[in-house]
Each structure stands twice: as structure tokens, then as C-alpha cells.
Amino acid sequence: MTTSSPRDNSPSLLCVLAATGLTCCALLLAAAPAMAAEQQNALQHGRQLAQACAACHGITGNTANPALYPNLAGQAPAYLELQLANFKSGERPNPIMKGFAASLTDADMHDLGVYFGAQAVKAQPPSNHEQEEKGKYIFTKGSIAGAPACTSCHGAQGHGQAAFPRIASQPAGYTLEQLHVYRDAPKFNNPLATVMKGVAVKLSEDEMKSVSAYIATLP
């Protein structure tokens, strides 16, 4: 009596494997048009919804008022979706954004995230080399008081990773204001915000201004 070897490459086994592979390929090819159509629908619906965001954030997610509002272009869609949900629930307090998010459905939030995430972000041109070089050091190495490098959470180029958002190309004024909020707020319920508070309290005002200026120039 003989048994087949684990390395048995009999014609029947090869045929089964080939058929299985062809079936998988066929399923993927069949699903691709549906996925593309779903993405296109999300983009179109997101653009329609973005009309209400344009006054502050710009229709392409590049704000015309960088002293007050962030760029949304190029941001991770899942992060944008989560922030809208947090504004709606009150987890992230902001009266203006809460009023806007109140009427959004989960699908609306998803589509807005997809739309803004697909837009090209515009970086700020360099304007103060000395200040931006100081900011680059903090961004890549950390602060004198022990704040970790921004790259450790937000990625080498500041484009975001895992749960951490993209910070590259954010207006310097907006980033500075957010660092003030993280530094001055007594506490946060959100774990990521708590992490940022631990960073902000180890940055001097000059360091905050420098790293904000550098981040704004990153493409």
C-alpha cells in the first residue's frame, strides 16, 4: 500500500489549485467595477456635502483662512470621519462643528472623508528659514524638555500613520492654536488627545511656533 507524498504534484491536484486560482481572480475582477463605482459615488456625494464646508475649509479642503481653520485635503478619510462623529457627539467640543455635524449621517461622514482625503493639499511656502530649521529639529528629534519627535507618531513626512492624523501642510496658525489647547486644557477623555497633551506641555512657546512653521511647509 502506498500513500501520496506531501509534495505530490499530481495532475489532479494541480488542476484543483489552478481552478481555485482562476475562481479567485474572476471574483476579484467582478468586484473591481463595483468597488470603483462605490468610490466614485462617495466622491461625488462628498463633494456635494463639501459645499457647506467651503467657507471655512475651501471646496478642495485647502482653507482660505489659515489663521483659524485647518486644511482637510489629503487627510486620512477614517480620521476625518471619526472627527465628525466626535463633533456630533460632543466628544470633541466645538459649537460650530457640532451644529454642522448634527445633521450628518454615518454615510455622509464617510463620503466627506473620502472626498477630502482624495484632494491635493497645498503646503505653505517657506518664509523664515531660521525658525523653520528649529522646527525641523523638534519635528525629527524632539524638544529639549523631552517632547518626542513628531515623526514618532505622525510619520517621517508628517502624513499620518495608524490612528495618528496627517499634520503636514497644516497652517502654522492652526497648528499653534491646537498645541495651545492641548497644553492648557486640564484633561482629555480621548487617549490620543491625552498623548498630545503630554507632548505640548514639554514644548516652549518658541518651540511651538517653530514646529508649527515647519509643519506648514511640508508637502
* pLDDT at residue 151, as a whole number: 98
- Residue 1 Cα distances to 4, 9, 142, angstroms: 10, 19, 70
Cβ proximity of 84 and 112 under 8 Å: yes
Cβ proximity of 74 and 120 under 8 Å: yes
* pLDDT at residue 2, as a whole number: 42
| pLDDT level of residue 67 (50, 70, 90 thresholds) | confident
What gap in Å lies between CA 98 and CA 164, rounded to an integer?
22
What gap in Å lies between CA 75 and CA 164, rounded to an integer?
10
Look at residue 13 and tell me whether its pLDDT is greater than 70.
Answer: no
Q: What's this model's pTM, rounded to 2 decimal places?
A: 0.81
Spatial CA neighbour of 176 closest among 148, 213, 144, 139? 213
Phi, psi dihedral angles at 161 (to 5 degrees): -160, 150
| pLDDT level of residue 158 (50, 70, 90 thresholds) | very high
Higher pLDDT, 150 or 10: 150
- Domains belonging to the chain, first-starting first, are 50-117 (1.10.760.10), 129-217 (1.10.760.10)
